[in-house]
Structure 1
Amino acid sequence: MTDRPAPRFWYRCRSCGHSRASDWPDLPADLTGTACNSCGSEEITLYELATRGVLRLPRPLVPPVRRFVCCHCGGGGLDSLGATCLHCHGAGFC
């Protein structure tokens, strides 16, 4: 009998379709440079077996949220009397 723990992660390459169990005990802190063992592609999908969590590599970039400065308070969140702006509810943007 072997003393190896059961694999926690399964990975699949989106380029060539190669998949196998990963021997990582935990996800590394820096996932840059992670590549397929078969073709060398960095387009990998990791699956955590216990929680069914999915992690796509490379990580997709999220566009920044487009916010507009409140037209009533000017972005401060307060009206001229020092009360919370009723238009943006104190957030400063609408």
Structure 2
Amino acid sequence: MRKDHEKRRKNTNAIFSKTILDLLKERGPLSTEQIHPLIQAIHPDICDDSIDRVIDGQHFGKKWKHLVRGAQQSLKRRGLIFLKNNKWHLVGNN
């Protein structure tokens, strides 16, 4: 069961990563707050507002938004995007 969860998380990360790159190519620099509704409109099936990120009983917001932020950080670590003035940019398109 744990492997299935890990596989789903990796697939979701790949989906969100590709969508973030596509949005930044199409629209230019965007803040995380701007990215969230765009991704939710594109992927309503995996952006479920009824599911919170809960750790030890403490709520940390919507789980899908946490996964979007994880995808942003993954892209940043891979050198594909960077954050400047609170907006995400594609590397090479600044």
Greater relative contact order structure (CA < 8 Å, 6+ sep): 2
Please indicate the TM-score interval, normalised by the length of the shorter structure: under 0.3
Query: Max radius of gyration: which structure?
Result: 1
Tell me the TM-score normalised to structure 2 length: 0.20
Q: Which has the higher helix share?
A: 2
TM-score, structure 1 as length reference: 0.20
